[in-house]
């Protein structure tokens, strides 16, 4: 099992405002609102982390890609594919 750096292992009660129709429909299907909310917030946090990393490292990635285009990969001759 992979370590999840976002999880702390502890729980904190929070208040959320969710459309009553969504809540009724989810409960009718036996959906655990806490688990689904937690997964959605975790996924949204990861997407935002990725977006920020890409933005913060955009120049480095572009420079690296340019270097590889001009010089090829350092160990290219050893690739088997």
pLDDT in tens, 55-81: 999 999 999 999 999 998 888 888 887
> Does 55 map to a domain?
yes
Query: What digits encode the pLDDT tens for the residues 5-61?
Result: 888 888 899 999 999 999 999 999 999 999 999 999 999 999 999 999 999 999 999
Nearest to 13 by CA among 44, 38, 49: 38
Q: Which of 49, 47, 14 minimizes the C-alpha distance to 33?
A: 14
Residue 6 is classified by DSSP as: T
Query: In the chain, how many domains are there?
Result: 1
**Half-sphere exposure of residue 38: CA atoms within 13 angstroms, side-chain side:** 15
Residue 52 lies in a domain: yes
Range of the domain at 59: 34-72
Kindly indicate the confidence band of residue 2, based on its pLDDT and cuts at 50, 70 and 90.
confident
pTM over 0.75: no
């Amino acid at each position: 099992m992979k370590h999840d750096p976002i999880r702390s292992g502890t729980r904190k009660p929070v208040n959320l405002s969710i459309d009553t129709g969504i809540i009724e429909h989810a409960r009718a299907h036996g959906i655990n609102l806490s688990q689904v909310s937690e997964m959605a917030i975790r996924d949204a946090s990861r997407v935002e982390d990725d977006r920020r990393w890409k933005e913060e490292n955009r120049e480095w990635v572009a420079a690296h890609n340019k270097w590889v285009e001009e010089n090829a990969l350092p160990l290219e001759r050893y690739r088997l594919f």
